[in-house]
């Protein structure tokens, strides 16, 4: 491999060539290998024969970790790095590459099964906690759902945009238009989910009123140096209302 690298890079200085040899040797020792160069440059340049190709010494090792030369607690990056290095070293030997890839695939599948099992255990624990919770908590959870991450992010972006818009226009006037638009969006999302405009309207207006009341109580208690001097009570209250509208249209059933 080193001779092939030199032949395909004729302008490479001897110093850089030596560094390349040393780097490959260091990587080989890291994964339990000894770097050996080809028998001659001609064999490497013109392909030689299969008898001159380096053979992976751990082809028949059963443990995939030992086959790749990594510890059982190695990270996914370390496993991937060992696989890439070994495939590069034995690229010309088909049986060696197959053995390396097979070990890597075993570890990938084991990692996938472990993550899946962890998710199942987490769901089981959450379900058990819900079953053991007080009756009022169970009733409350019946009105809550967890939508896909994409839905959460899109609605979070929408209401964050409304908040930014209100802040930018705070010097020109109050955020009445932005609040009305946010309320309409909330009712639209709830109606799309519940297929009941009356219920969606009640939930939307309830979220707005709750947010406005909470904002009216929370904002005046904040330290004066915490908020910009240009912010009014109406602006701070509307920002709190956007949070309640977002939570309502995203997580309520």
The pLDDT of residue 1 is 44
Q: What is the model's pLDDT at position 232?
A: 85
The Cα-based distances of 97 to 18, 26, 75, 106, 194 in angstroms read 26, 20, 21, 14, 55
Residue with tokens 């099964």: 113
Which pLDDT belongs to residue 130? 59
List the chain domain ranges: 2-110, 149-251
Per-residue tokens: 114: 């472990």
**Taking the mean position of all CA atoms in its chain, how far away is CA 123?**
19
User: How confident is the model at residue 14, as a pLDDT?
Assistant: 47
Q: How far, in Å, are 25, 85, 99, 241 from residue 31 at the CA level?
A: 10, 9, 15, 57
The whole-number pLDDT of residue 17 equals: 42
Give the contacts of 157 (CB within 8 A, at least 6 positions apart).
none
CA 1 to CA 150: how far, in whole Å? 47
- CA 215 – CA 243 distance, rounded (Å): 10
Full 3-state SS string of 113-150 = HHHHHHHHHHHHHHHHHHHHCCHHHHHHHCCECCCCHH
**And the tokens for 104?**
């890597």
What is the pLDDT tens value at each position of the chain, 253 positions in all?
444 444 344 444 544 544 554 555 555 555 555 444 444 333 343 344 445 567 888 888 899 999 998 888 888 888 889 899 998 888 888 888 899 999 999 998 888 888 877 777 776 776 676 566 667 656 666 778 888 899 999 999 999 999 999 988 876 667 889 999 999 999 999 999 888 999 999 999 999 999 999 999 998 888 877 778 778 889 999 999 999 999 999 998 8
């Amino acid at each position: 491999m080193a001779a092939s690298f030199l032949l395909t890079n004729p302008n490479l200085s001897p110093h850089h060539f030596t560094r390349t040899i040393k780097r490959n040797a260091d990587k080989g020792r890291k994964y339990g290998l000894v770097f050996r160069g080809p028998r001659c440059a001609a064999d490497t340049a013109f392909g030689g024969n299969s008898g001159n190709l380096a053979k992976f010494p751990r082809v028949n090792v059963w443990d995939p970790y030992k086959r790749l030369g990594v510890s059982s607690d190695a990270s996914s990056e370390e496993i991937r790095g060992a696989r890439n290095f070994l495939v590069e070293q034995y690229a010309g030997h088909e049986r060696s590459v197959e053995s390396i890839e097979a070990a890597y695939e075993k570890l990938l599948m084991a990692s996938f099964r472990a993550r899946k099992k962890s998710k199942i255990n987490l769901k089981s624990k959450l379900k058990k906690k819900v079953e053991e919770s007080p009756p009022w908590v169970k009733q409350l959870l019946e009105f809550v759902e967890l939508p896909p991450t994409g839905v959460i992010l899109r609605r979070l972006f929408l209401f964050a945009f409304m908040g930014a818009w209100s802040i930018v226009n705070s010097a020109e006037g109050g955020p009445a238009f932005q609040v009305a638009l946010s309320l309409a969006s909330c009712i639209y999302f709830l109606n799309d989910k519940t297929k009941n405009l009356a219920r969606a309207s009640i939930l939307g207006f309830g979220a707005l009123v709750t947010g406005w009341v909470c904002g009216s109580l929370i904002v005046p208690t904040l330290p004066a140096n915490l908020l910009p001097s240009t912010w009014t009570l109406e602006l701070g209250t509307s920002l709190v209302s956007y949070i309640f509208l977002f939570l309502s249209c995203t997580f309520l059933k």
